[in-house]
């Protein structure tokens, strides 16, 4: 049996399929660092966040956006297609509207750019910004990526997430009222969360009108508050096999129409403290494929129950 939303025998809705089906050609995302800050820093920030604001592979903020984009294109030169500018590092709606317009539209003017992906927090999109995003969405292919990480309040407090679940749901609804695509970030392996809790996060998200999801494994990075927490009181970390099993179980609860943008992260070797197995991204992805094949799992298996 072949999964409907895949071009390469995957058993989940691949981003490659989604882009090819929508645009009929290869789409390449170029990660950018627009030099934005984060409103949550004054409250200490999320304990896992690095100095780069989750933009380890975004461009160099000391380069202008055009230079960053061109460097990114050069790195991706083995592929031919159209481009999406991915505003990745920190909170990319946290600035005055005139600054946002300048940053976004600088990229949209470039040749072969067909859209933007903007990573942000659900508590950092003003009404004024939301109206602008609505207008932008009518002119280009726009995706807003919202960090959630977990639905569990106790964990959110522990990692100092800084916004409520209600705030997140409210912003998803506001964006969808404007017909803007929403991709949600979650983290598996957060301190003291059980497998059941991680699955509950996905089951909750499946009930919302979201279009995509990114699933990450928790990285303990150097020079973060999480590093200090872990060194003082080490908490259990998921093994590679545990992570693979949990991800595959989570996929069962996601509607087949939800696009899987990511199933693991990309830590930098020099910054990673634990878990070391996350450095071998291909091994993790292959492990997910093998587990799904062996256990005859497809995305959405449980959504009709």
Mean pLDDT of 203-232: 96
Q: pLDDT tens-digit profile of 177-201? A: 999 999 999 999 999 999 999 999 9
Give me the DSSP letters along 52-114.
TSS-TTS--TTS-HHHHHHHHHHHTTTS-SEEEEEE-SS-TT-S-HHHHHHHHHHHHTSTTEE
Contacts of 256 (CB under 8 A, 6+ apart): 3, 4, 5, 13, 298, 299, 300, 303
The domain locations on the chain are 15-294
State residue 10's pLDDT score: 96
Structure tokens at 22: 């929508």
Mean pLDDT of 12-41: 93
Is it the case that residue 24 has pLDDT exceeding 90? yes
Q: How far apart are CA 174 and CA 180, in angstroms?
A: 9
pTM of this prediction? 0.95
Superfamily of domain 15-294: Aldolase class I (3.20.20.70)
- Cα-based angle 94, 96, 100 (whole degrees, multiple of 5): 75
State residue 242's pLDDT score: 98
- Cα-based angle 211, 3, 146 (whole degrees, multiple of 5): 20
State residue 305's pLDDT score: 59
Is it the case that residue 53 has pLDDT exceeding 50? no
Structure tokens at 146: 């919202």
State residue 207's pLDDT score: 97
Phi/psi of residue 170, nearest 5 degrees? -60, -40
Q: How far apart are CA 14 and CA 170, in angstroms?
A: 27
Q: How far apart are CA 161 and CA 38, in angstroms?
A: 12
State residue 58's pLDDT score: 67
Q: pLDDT tens-digit profile of 240-293? A: 999 999 999 999 999 999 999 999 988 889 999 999 999 999 999 999 999 999
The more confident residue out of 51 and 77 is 77
């Amino acid at each position: 049996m072949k999964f409907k939303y895949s071009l390469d025998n995957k058993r989940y809705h691949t981003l490659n399929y989604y882009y090819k089906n929508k645009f009929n050609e290869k789409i390449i995302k170029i990660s950018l660092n627009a030099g934005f800050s984060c409103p949550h820093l004054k409250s200490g920030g999320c304990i896992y966040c690095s100095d780069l604001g989750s933009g380890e592979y975004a461009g160099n903020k000391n380069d202008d956006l055009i230079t960053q984009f061109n460097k990114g294109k050069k790195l991706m030169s083995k592929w031919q297609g159209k481009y999406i500018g991915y505003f990745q590092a920190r909170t990319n709606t946290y600035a005055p509207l005139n600054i946002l317009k300048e940053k976004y539209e600088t990229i949209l003017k470039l040749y072969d750019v067909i859209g933007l992906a903007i990573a942000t927090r659900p508590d950092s999109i003003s009404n004024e910004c939301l109206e602008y995003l609505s207008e932008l969405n009518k002119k280009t292919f726009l995706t807003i990526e919202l960090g959630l990480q977990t639905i569990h309040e106790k964990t959110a407090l522990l990692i100092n997430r800084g916004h409520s679940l209600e705030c997140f749901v409210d912003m998803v609804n506001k964006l969808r009222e404007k017909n803007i695509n929403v991709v949600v970030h979650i983290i598996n392996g957060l301190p003291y969360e059980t497998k059941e809790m991680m699955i509950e996060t996905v089951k909750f998200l499946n009930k919302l009108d979201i279009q995509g999801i990114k699933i990450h494994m928790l990285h303990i990075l150097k020079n973060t508050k999480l590093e200090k927490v872990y060194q003082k009181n080490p908490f259990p970390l998921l093994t590679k096999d545990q992570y693979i099993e949990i991800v595959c179980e989570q996929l069962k609860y996601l509607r087949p129409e939800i696009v899987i943008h990511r199933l693991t992260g990309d830590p930098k070797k020099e910054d990673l403290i634990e878990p070391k197995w996350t450095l071998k991204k291909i091994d993790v992805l292959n492990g997910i494929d093998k587990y799904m094949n062996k256990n005859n799992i497809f995305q959405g298996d449980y959504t009709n129950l």
